[in-house]
Structure 1
Amino acid sequence: MTLNAKEIFTASMVLFAVIDIIGNIPIIISLREKAGHIHSEKASIIAAVVLTVFLFVGERILNLIGINVNEFAVAGAFVLFFIAIEMLLGITLFKDDGTGPEVATIFPLAFPMLAGPGSLTTLLSLRAEYEIQNVIVAILINIVFIYIVLKTSARLQRILGKNGIEIIRKVFGVILLAIAVKLFTSNIQELFN
């Protein structure tokens, strides 16, 4: 079991783009205002557990319903494509009505914002292309980054400003769009072989 720095870096960047923690700073700040407080540690741990568990049992779940990883990766490429379009166009599909800090920490923050359909689909797509230990390291890197962003979200908003956050969101939208195309083309070929 050897770690591959290139795979770790690529998987980390893909997950970072899909989770879009920087682009979600405005939503996180809004949740903090509505709920009063967000438990950054708890949200990070729950997201890490959901992502890691799905990495290991997601494929078995797919096998139970008769779908292989390449088919799921192609479907995941479509999901990533739409997430990228969402990021580029500034569309938000999920809105929270505001609840207490305990509930807001788990739902919607840990799930579905951090460990949502896009990131779960991405994990299985990454597992089809990369060694599992590299994907696990990529998850951990992202969880550490998520924790830091959650803890410092108010300061980050002041530093980056609204325009800075939008620019970062657009850049990662383009990167994610390119990744979606790559996932689609590489996995669609596998289906026809």
Structure 2
Amino acid sequence: MDFFGLNALEIISAFLVLFAIIDATGSVPIFLNLRSKGKKIEPFKASAYSFLILLLFLFVGEWILKLFQVDVSSFAVAGALVILIISIEMIFGVEIFKNESPDESDNSATLVPIVFPLITGPGTFTTLLSMRAEYHSINIIIAVLLNMVIVYLVLRYVDVVKKIMGVGGVFILRKFFGVVLMAISVKLLTSNISILFTSFQ
């Protein structure tokens, strides 16, 4: 049911998309590697900063698009292509997007690379604005909040997550959500291209 824009199906759908994009469980090896190098990771700050940044971009991002005279549907099509590429990375294990290495002189890894680009990277930004063309804002906000809770729990109990899931579990989960992302990207692409074609008629 739909109350004041709240819709359980939209929340679940948006949650799954963001969960697959952020891929906190799939980043467990990265988190462990950073810790082995003596990098300090603060779970609460990482999740809180990420939530604020994503929330800000969810609303300011559309204003930025208007500044460049780009509508949400056009951005959604571009975003669908980016999501498609990310899904190809996850399914086939290839690297298309390359992240810059953090500054080795900085002992903290909370902001770089945890918050950016692992959690609030270009893929997440693109996904947020793409979903604005499909879902109500309140449902996206709730989905973001739920994902940040998971990010906090994964960072807080990263060793436990590794033991529970194992290497094989992380691998399977990454492949599965790669397929989910690919399906969602196709849906975004087809639905928004039809809107663009209609506007040209």
Judge same fold: TM > 0.5, yes or no.
yes
Structure 1 residue 163 displacement after superposition: 1.2
Name 1:22's counterpart in structure 2: 25
- Percent identity between the aligned chains? 48
Name 1:161's counterpart in structure 2: 166
Which residue among 120, 128, 146 is the counterpart of 2:125? 120
Residue 178 to residue 31, structure 1, CA distance change in 2 (3 Å) = same
Greater helix proportion: 1
Name 2:175's counterpart in structure 1: 170
Name 2:52's counterpart in structure 1: 49
Name 1:150's counterpart in structure 2: 155
- TM-score in terms of structure 2 length: 0.91
Matched ranges for 1:89-104 at <5 A: 89-92=92-95, 93-94=98-99, 96=101, 99=104, 100-102=106-108, 104=109
Deviations 1:2-36 (A, max 9, x none): 41111111110111111111111111111122233
Q: Does the CA-based 8 Å contact 1:81-1:180 persist in structure 2?
A: yes
Q: Does the CA-based 8 Å contact 1:35-1:98 persist in structure 2?
A: no
Q: Does the CA-based 8 Å contact 1:19-1:113 persist in structure 2?
A: yes
Structure 2: distance between partners of 1:107 and 1:37: 11
Structure 1 residue 154 displacement after superposition: 1.4
Deviations 1:60-95 (A, max 9, x none): 001111211011100000100010011112234336
Q: Which has the larger radius of gyration?
A: 2
RMSD of equivalent CA atoms: 1.4
Unaligned 5+ segments in structure 1 are none
Deviations 1:32-62 (A, max 9, x none): 2223321111111111011000001100001
Structure 1: distance between partners of 2:30 and 2:119: 12
Q: Does the CA-based 8 Å contact 2:14-2:140 persist in structure 1?
A: yes
Structure 1: distance between partners of 2:116 and 2:17: 18
How many residues align? The count is: 192
SS in 1 for 2:196: helix
Name 1:61's counterpart in structure 2: 64
Which residue among 16, 22, 26 is the counterpart of 1:13? 16
Unaligned 5+ segments in structure 2 are none
Name 1:75's counterpart in structure 2: 78
